[in-house]
Structure 1
């Protein structure tokens, strides 16, 4: 009997195209399987929390205590993925989508990913949320496309416009770069669910990896108190996932130092994003006796300013008088980046020569 689970593809006669079809189909199948299990898991956890809340007359404060206790225990046993925020999202997911599973296998072929549902939970208007859910599924929107459309009030703009097709085409143009068919592979939520260390190599080009790796070594060898904390550190906000290129702790200054690399001209938005990182670090990581977190935004285009130092308002004097004593100068950073770009270019040329021999 024919196995209905076999990967299907349309034979074209071109072995490369056919092989690409097989690989893409297998990846889609893997995505669907992981996605269904992840959505089911989160919905069931949310359902169980809601049931526990009901045992105490539905008191919301008791539900929050359950979430707090579960977060501590689950994180200790399973690691990342079970923060209080995540557990509250699971609880909200069950509350807002109580009929999504008529059985554990029900509607599994019609599910969006968990990160899609996490975005949908931002939409409080039930009619708008149902519309976004339908459009995201039918049109194959990526998570970033859905987030942009929710944030830009796409549903309400479509209701008001007399030219819906023009609005739709504009949306497709503005989100075309977000429609990555392998988005799920890069999703940190998937890595957490599978119990794997997140592979962040996809976040950097070869040149960026080389520069960041070299800067990490450069700062550690400066002898000015730098201790390495993390590379490509994942920061999740309600609407986006961010990655800080390098994080250090300077034990002389007693502060965290965050470094972000940009491959284009530095913008005000880049500095604003760094300020957000600083606020998050000061709220979540900084201890009472630590000094304010410092952020550095670097640019690889050396026709532009090489660095922008970012520190929260009210700390400028401290930064000017003390911090710069232990930070690399613009000239030092420029020299290191230029040196690494030259090494990378030379290695690339040698590699091409070896392939041509």
Structure 2
């Protein structure tokens, strides 16, 4: 009977270890509950994206009109339903529909789908072949969201295409991502909690989040493979009037220059860029060797709905930045994706600690 088949998805086994048996029942029930919620969440976001795209594409719609639709919808939905409907999310729903026009045909509570958070990460990948490959690997190998994000950020697909030793590359990937593979990650996912209307815990310190992002940005840049060597964290810069601390300092041995990174938790201001210009001048005076190129500064914003990055070089070095420096810098989209992933993982880890 169908009802009996549905019950069998909850694993039941009687052994000599009652604790193990009960945990198995709970884990399988949680997994089944997630699969049902996830299927509905994916379907909801797909239909929202479909409706938005249809509205934007109907008749003679201008880009300005499309932006007005998103802004108006975001305001109205946020008032009615709370978090989860900011402009960035609505754009993602539309992009999801455009990238996966047929996915809703297979959605059901029993569907073999990734989580919405997985799909949100996959939307970063513009290359269709690469995106499909990441999707299949994420499902078949049960990658966590963080594992998927890391593999995309480190160009795992393209490295697998080029390598003559794919087994070694895959083994390295598994070793480096083993700490991210939490079998109950989906249950503690804040996106699922948000969808179910659970109240958010607002006790998380902003300084802790900032520290988490900085920790992982350091790893992210080192793994880009574009010549970055780590120099220092919270490097002290002293002036006659004040002490300053630069969040991250790297040396790029391809560009032959120092790269300074400062993370802001609020919208980037002209004062932030001016402060970075000061850091650059001081670094050029105190640290740069004669054969080094001018120091480069990057001001990052952890609010990914805002301007995510401002690159800073002294005015007489702008041509050098445009012609050479940009080739070895992460794109704004790569930085945005990494910061967004770390924010999500930060809240996920906090929830795990509470339980």
Q: TM-score, normalised by structure 2?
A: 0.60
- Supply the distance in 2 between the matched residues of 1:189 and 1:276 (Cα, whole angstroms): 28
2:48 pairs, out of 31, 45, 59, with 45
Structure of greater relative contact order (alpha carbons < 8 Å, 6+ residues apart): 2
- Supply the distance in 2 between the matched residues of 1:259 and 1:159 (Cα, whole angstroms): 35
Note the C-alpha offset of 1:125.
0.4
**Within the alignment, does 1:77 sit opposite 2:77 as a pair?**
no
Counterpart of 1:141 in structure 2 is 143
Counterpart of 2:28 in structure 1 is 25
Query: 2:247·2:263 contact (CA, 8 Å) conserved in 1?
Result: no
Query: 1:75·1:82 contact (CA, 8 Å) conserved in 2?
Result: yes
**Within the alignment, does 1:268 sit opposite 2:233 as a pair?**
yes
Note the C-alpha offset of 1:145.
0.3
- Supply the distance in 1 between the matched residues of 2:90 and 2:69 (Cα, whole angstroms): 10
Note the C-alpha offset of 1:75.
1.0
- Supply the distance in 2 between the matched residues of 1:170 and 1:259 (Cα, whole angstroms): 26
SS of residue in 2 equivalent to 1:109: coil
Note the C-alpha offset of 1:97.
0.4
- Supply the distance in 2 between the matched residues of 1:260 and 1:175 (Cα, whole angstroms): 17
- Supply the distance in 1 between the matched residues of 2:214 and 2:51 (Cα, whole angstroms): 44
- Supply the distance in 1 between the matched residues of 2:74 and 2:44 (Cα, whole angstroms): 15
Which ranges of structure 1 fall in alignment gaps of 5 or more residues?
Answer: 200-229, 234-242, 247-257, 293-310, 317-357
Encode CA deviations 1:27-86: one digit per residue, 9 max, x unaligned: 111211221111111111000101111223464443222111101111111111111001
Structure 1 segments (4+ residues) deviating >3 Å:
9-13, 57-61, 243-246, 258-263
1:262 to 1:157, Cα distance in 2 relative to 1, 3 A: closer
Which ranges of structure 2 fall in alignment gaps of 5 or more residues?
Answer: 216-231, 235-245, 250-260, 280-355
Counterpart of 1:232 in structure 2 is 204
Encode CA deviations 1:277-299: one digit per residue, 9 max, x unaligned: 52x4134xx8x9xx87xxxxxxx
Q: CA RMSD in A?
A: 3.4
1:144 to 1:259, Cα distance in 2 relative to 1, 3 A: closer
Q: TM-score, normalised by structure 1?
A: 0.59
- Supply the distance in 2 between the matched residues of 1:262 and 1:57 (Cα, whole angstroms): 45
Aligned residues: 240
SS of residue in 1 equivalent to 2:114: coil
